[in-house]
Structures are given as structure tokens and as C-alpha cells.
Amino acid sequence: MLTTRRTLLQASLALPAAGLLPRVAAAADPFKVGFIYVAPIGDAGWTFQHDLGRKALEASLGAAVKTTFVENVPEEGADAERVIRKLATEGHSLIYTTSFGFMEPTLKVAAKFPKVKFAHCTGYKRAANVSTYSARFYEGRYLTGLIAGRMTKSNVIGYVAAFPIPEVVQGINAVLLAARTVNPNVTIKVVFVSSWFDPGKERAAADTLISQGADVIMHHTDSSAVVQGGEEKGVWSFGYDSDMLRYGPKTNLTSVTMHWDDYYIDQTKAAMAGSWKSDDTWGGLKTGMVKLGPLNAAVPESVRAEVTAATAKIEAGTLLPFAGPIKDQAGAVKVAAGKSLSDGEILGMNWFAEGVQGKLG
Amino acid sequence: MHELEIAVAILVATLRAATPLVLAGFGELIAERSGVLNLGVEGMMLMGASVGFIGTVATGSPIIGLLLAMLAGAALAMVFGVLTLSLMANQVATGLALTIFGVGFSALVGVKWIGIPLEGIATDIWPSLSSSSPIVQQLMLLDPIVWLAVLVPFLIHRFIYRTRAGLVLRAVGESHDVAHALGYSVLKIRYLAVAFGGAMSGLAGAYLSLAYTPMWSENMVAGRGWIALALVVFSTWKPAWLALGSLLFGFVTIAQFQAEALGLALSPHLLAMLPYLATIVVLVLISRDATRLKLNAPAALGRPFHATA
């Protein structure tokens, strides 16, 4: 069940020999589902949440499915394509590729295996046998922005970000817009560390932001280093991807968490029943794909009530995080009052809202 | 006052960021000065990071954790030593294999220890100074390994240029045949140098998992081993320049974050390049004389030694 790239390599070396063995095919062969992960599963973070989804799938469908995962597959180079093709040739009927950088390799392999179904996470290119899926992370970010706006004393929020891409920019803008609804003086300082996973750099960036006056820090990277840094310096923090409370029992206010369980179960069931269709899924608070982790005891009752109310409104569709009026950093109106950004505009977001201090591109 | 505080914050952060590069870099410097090119630094650092973390959590003592990390790094280096020195395997290929092995093995060893929060190495080693000014306090919050990393360049410079053992080490790295003819045991000296390099890499890795970001996570060294290796070459095997290069790399990384947080209107892509760019430019400038570079490189670097007489 556990397949790493190393054991895959060994397996491919052993293939010629395996071909000589008599094949024991049974009618009750389980439905094989493959998962490609960009990072080690670890204990928290993006890949960890996807693996929770895989486990939920196994628990839900039992012996009817057999899942395989390959972790730590690099986005660069030819590795991803090779690993995806390997899973396809091994008889996996449905393959989830769980990182943006797997987009082209997934499409390439999918074109050669029309009967195999693929689902690519956070991408925008589809094909007859390639679906895409992602979550409205920014809805969770909006809720953390409300809390941050109430908790900050210095009115400076520090944000450790990986790369200036729309998915990251959405989160930063959502936090700022939410925070300003409860505290108009809030500004956000952004530091890009140019890596999804480098605990040392993430921590150094957090320390820098704290030294420049941030008293609430959050991150869009994959380790828990920022939350740990907040705990050590006594500064409020928010986690991302997974619940990170144990890294900051005193100062971690909550985490924005991702949940792929239902999506994996529904899609796999559809593929088994033959009703699977290529489409795009973008879930949020309403579908439970994005949730807020448990709130720290330090969050006051009044703020909890605000968060609960905002959650209900976002789920009902009456509160849109990117509703106007919104100005960009130069003061130009990006979204007029009474209007709101379309999904397409949100997916392509490449500007910072007024109050964000940082530069894109 | 505010500017001064930011300056101290930058200084402290620079020292912390440079520490793993200094420790691993100076370990590798000794190995290369003896004529052995070990490209396995990243792998040895990862072993040190995981073993150091496990040792500290299991025994509750960071000192034992650090010692185990150094042992783990040295043990891995010894595997490299047996293969390249005794069995005369190709050093480049073996070093690369060592890194790949270290990445995988550290992950395997550490898999049960992921996600355990750790207090980290105590920093209040000078409690009597805790009442002084906030700036002194900031400096005093640096952990003991950082202070060790401040000392290491001076100690190793002294060892290489001012001691008999350092002279012998250099002789082995320049011409192993001559050193052999003079009666020195080339293999023994190289084994010691390689083991020292491994122990220092292990310590550098353990610094990351015990002090810099107290946690264990697969691949957490994130390429610092490769940067340390590059710094050794770009510094033309000179201790002073190696120390300078490490500090410069750490400083520009931190300065980049400070510039972004201050809101300087610079592209994040450009800023992300800066540490690499600045370090390469400076080190290329100070070593631009090709003949001097050739003179500085240990002449026997990467060449296997086989006693013929």
C-alpha cells in the first residue's frame, strides 16, 4: 500500500520478471485509486490533509477500493509524468494529482490513457477524462481576518507567503478586507519566502515580521514553523491546511483547514458506478471542504459570535468576501460598491487590496 | 532607537541563518583540504537533524542529542570514507549517493517523530545579563550553537595555518604522494578529516532541528547542505572567505525579508534571487584571478590515493 518513489523504482526493475508470472485475475478485483503527493505526508499541512481524504475513502468503501499513494513527487522535471504513467499502467482507474505543478504531466498522461480518469487539484485545464477540483481557501481566510482584526493591538498583521500567485493573493486580500470591517486601521505586511516548504526561512520571515511590529502572524506555506515562532515570541498566530494548535497552545488562535474526504468518496463512487464526468469542483465553507479549526480559549466570546455569524452568511451566500467597494494599492477602484468579483476574477487575482504592504511581480 | 533595534534584529537573524552554513561549510573545508570531495553534506545534515531531534526527545537532553547527531553525521561520512578511500570509488558519484541515501534514511528513521513539539535549546545561558538593555538581551538570546559557530572560523583558521597538524592536512590535500613519502598516513588523515566533516554536518543539521526551528520534518534542511558546499568552492578553500560568504548569504536572506516587510517596492522575484546573486558576485570578485583559484584548490582534491611504495 505504501509506495514511495524508491519502491516504485524497484518495482519497475522487477517488472520483466513479474510479467512472466501467471496473472491471477479475479472478477472481484478492487477498484484501484491512485494519489500523487508533492510533499512527504508528514504530520500537518497540504499533503497530510489529502492523505486524510484517502484514508477516509478507504474507510468508507472498504474492500471495494484499493488506494495507492506516491509521496514527495517533485513538480519540476520528468518525475511527475513518469510516476503518473506508472500508476496508470498499473491498472489504477482513477488518479488524483494533488498539486498545481502536476497539471501538464496529468494532461499528458491522460491523453494516452483515455479510459483512466484523472482529477487534478488547483489546476484550470480540463479534458474529457481530467477533472479539476479546489477549495475556496479564501472563505476560511476571511474568518481569520475577522479574528485578527479584533485581536491585533499594533494593527499590523504579518503574512509569510510562498509565491505571488492568485491562490496566495486571494488569501491575503481576504484577510485584509475582513480585518478592516472590524478594525479600519489594520495593515498587512507580506514577506515572500519563495518556497512552499523551508521551515528555516519561514521562521526567519516570521521573526522579521514580528521585529517590525506585527502582533498577529499567519502563513501560506507548508510547515508549522510560523506558528511555532509566534508561540516563542508570544505573538498571535493562525495555522493553515491542518489544525496547528499543538504547535502554539497559548498563541495559535485557530487554523484554516482543508477537507477532501467527501470529494474523494463521491468522485470515486461515481467512477465505480460509471457516472463520472469531467467537471470542475470548487468547494468552500458550505460544502465543508474548508473549515475553521477549533478556536483558542483566548478568543473572546463576542468575537466567536462574529465568526459564527459570518460563517452562516458566507454559507448562505449573503456575505461575499470580495464584494465591493474594494480599492487596490494605488487607490484605484477594483470592485465597485454593490458588485462582487466573479469566480474567474478571483481565480486570476493579481493585485493587492489597499492596506496590503508588499509587491507582486 | 527603533532603527538600532531593527539593526540588532537583523544581526541576530543573520547569525542564526548563517550558523548551519558555517558549521557544515567548515566541516567540508577540512575534508576538502585533505583532498576529499564529499558531496554528501545535505544527506549528513539531514541525518544529524533527525538523529539529533530523536535523541533529544528520547533522552530529554539536548547535549546527548547533539552528540548523537555528530556521531550520526560522522558514521555516514565513514561509509563514504570506506567506499572512496579504501575501496577507491569515485568521490563525486559516492557523495551524490550519500546525499540521496541521507535524505531517504533520515526520513525513515524520523517518521515516528514527526509532529512532536520540542522546547528547543535553552537560550538563557547568561541569566545575570537578563536585566540589561533590550539590545543586549536580544544578543543574549542567541543559543550556544550560534556562539560556537562564531568561534569555529577562528579555530579552524588557526588549525589550518598555525598548527603542525594543519600543515600535514594541507600537505595531504596538495600532494598525497609526497605526504606519503614523508611518512604520513594519508588514509588515516583523510578518514579523520572526512569524519570531522560528517560530525560538523551532523551538528549543523541538529542546529536546524533543535534550535532554529525545533521540530523534525522530512527534508527540513531544504538545500542548505548544497549552499554550504558551493560556498566552500566559491571561497577558494579560504577560511576567512568561507566565513564571509556564509555571513553574506545569511545577511542578504534576512535583509530581503526586512526589505519586504518594510515595504520597499522591489519585486519579490528579484529579492528571492538576491542571496544567491550577491554571494556569487562577491565571491567571484574576490577569487576572479584564475591562477590564484587554481593555486588555492587542493591539488589532490577528488583524486584517490593508492600507496605504491
* ipTM score for this prediction: 0.84
Assess whether pLDDT exceeds 90 at residue A153.
yes
Are A40 and B219 inside 8 Å of each other by CB? yes
Assess whether pLDDT exceeds 60 at residue A4.
no
**Residue A141: predicted pLDDT:** 97
CB-based contact, A352 to chain B, within 8 Å: no
CATH number (domain holding residue A343): 3.40.50.2300
Does B288 or A47 have the greater pLDDT score?
A: A47
Q: How many other CB atoms are there within 10 angstroms of residue B278's CB atom?
A: 17
C-alpha cell at A181: 470591517
Q: Which of B104, B107, B213 sits opposite A225 (nearest CB)?
A: B213
Phi/psi-derived region of residue A228, left when phi > 0, alpha when psi is between -120 and 50, beta in every other case: alpha
> Is residue A22 situated within a structural domain?
no
> Is residue A10 situated within a structural domain?
no
**Residue B132: predicted pLDDT:** 63
> Is residue A33 situated within a structural domain?
yes
**Considering only the top CATH level, what class is B2-121+135-296?**
mainly alpha
Tell me the pLDDT band of B260, cut-offs 50, 70 and 90. Answer: confident
Mutate to test the interface with A, among B217, B262, B271 (most CBs of A within 10 A): B217
Q: How many other CB atoms are there within 10 angstroms of residue A7's CB atom?
A: 11
- Out of A245-259, B129-143, B223-237, least confident range: B129-143
> Is residue A19 situated within a structural domain?
no
Chain B residues inside the 8 Å CB shell of A207: 9, 13
- Out of A258-267, B98-107, B111-120, least confident range: B111-120
Chain B residues inside the 8 Å CB shell of A223: 213, 215, 217, 220
Are A199 and B222 inside 8 Å of each other by CB? yes
> In this structure, are A149 and A125 located in the same domain?
no
> In this structure, are A75 and A145 located in the same domain?
no
C-alpha cell at A208: 522579521
> In this structure, are A214 and A305 located in the same domain?
yes
> In this structure, are A174 and A314 located in the same domain?
yes
Cβ density class B119-137: b for 16+ within 10 Å, e for less: ebbeeeeeeeeeeeeebee
CB-based contact, B137 to chain A, within 8 Å: no
Assess whether pLDDT exceeds 70 at residue A18.
no
In the sheet with A280-283, reading across from the earlier edge strand, the strands are A2-3, A65-70, A31-36, A94-97, A117-121, A130-135, A280-283
Assess whether pLDDT exceeds 50 at residue A11.
no
> In this structure, are A230 and A300 located in the same domain?
yes
> In this structure, are A268 and A238 located in the same domain?
no
CB-based contact, B9 to chain A, within 8 Å: yes
- Number of helices (H) and strands (E) in chain B: give both, helices first: 13, 0
> Is residue A12 situated within a structural domain?
no
Give, as one character, the DSSP assignment of residue B212. I
State the pTM of this model.
Answer: 0.85
> Is residue A6 situated within a structural domain?
no
> In this structure, are A269 and A249 located in the same domain?
no
Helix (H), strand (E) at residue A218: strand A216-220
CB-based contact, B224 to chain A, within 8 Å: yes
**Residue A8: predicted pLDDT:** 46
Place of cell 550556544: B144
Over the stretch A51-62, which tens digit does the pLDDT of each residue have?
999 999 999 999
Please measure the distance between the N-terminal and C-terminal CA atoms of chain B and give it in whole angstroms. Answer: 68
Per the structure, the count of domains in chain A is 2
**Residue B282: predicted pLDDT:** 79
Residues 99-118 of B with CB under 8 A from A: 104, 107, 114-115, 117
> In this structure, are A98 and A158 located in the same domain?
no
> In this structure, are A233 and A297 located in the same domain?
yes
Mutate to test the interface with B, among A72, A154, A194, A208 (most CBs of B within 10 A): A208
Host domain of residue A156: 138-257+291-357
Q: Which of A195, A204, A223 sits opposite B257 (nearest CB)?
A: A204
Mind telling me how many Å the CA of A343 is from chain B's nearest CA?
26
Over the stretch A276-319, which tens digit does the pLDDT of each residue have?
999 999 999 999 999 999 999 999 999 999 999 999 999 999 99
> In this structure, are A328 and A233 located in the same domain?
yes
Question: Whose CA is closest to B200, among B235, B217, B224?
Answer: B224
Considering only alpha carbons, which residue of chain B is nearest residue A45?
B115
**Residue B241: predicted pLDDT:** 92
What's chain A's average pLDDT? 90
> Is residue A203 situated within a structural domain?
yes
Nearest-angstrom CA–CA distance, A50 and A35: 9
> In this structure, are A86 and A177 located in the same domain?
no
> Is residue A314 situated within a structural domain?
yes
Helix (H), strand (E) at residue A256: strand A252-258
What's chain B's average pLDDT? 89
Chain A residues inside the 8 Å CB shell of B20: 200
Assess whether pLDDT exceeds 50 at residue A170.
yes
Over the stretch B20-42, which tens digit does the pLDDT of each residue have?
999 999 999 999 999 999 999 99
Question: Whose CA is closest to B103, among B74, B138, B75, B76?
Answer: B76
Q: How many CB pairs under 8 A join A and B?
A: 116
CB-based contact, A252 to chain B, within 8 Å: no
CB-based contact, A250 to chain B, within 8 Å: no
Mind telling me how many Å the CA of A117 is from chain B's nearest CA?
31
Chain B residues inside the 8 Å CB shell of A10: none
Q: How many other CB atoms are there within 10 angstroms of residue A250's CB atom?
A: 11
Q: Quick check: helix, strand or coil at residue B144?
A: helix
Nearby residues of A28 by Cβ (< 8 Å), 6 or more positions away: none
Question: Whose CA is closest to A44, among B82, B116, B255, B96?
Answer: B116
Chain A residues inside the 8 Å CB shell of B1: none
What value does the mean pLDDT take over residues B288-300? 78
**Residue B126: predicted pLDDT:** 59
Q: Distance of alpha carbon B261 from its chain centroid, rounded?
A: 28
Over the stretch A175-214, which tens digit does the pLDDT of each residue have?
999 999 999 999 999 999 988 888 999 999 999 999 999 9
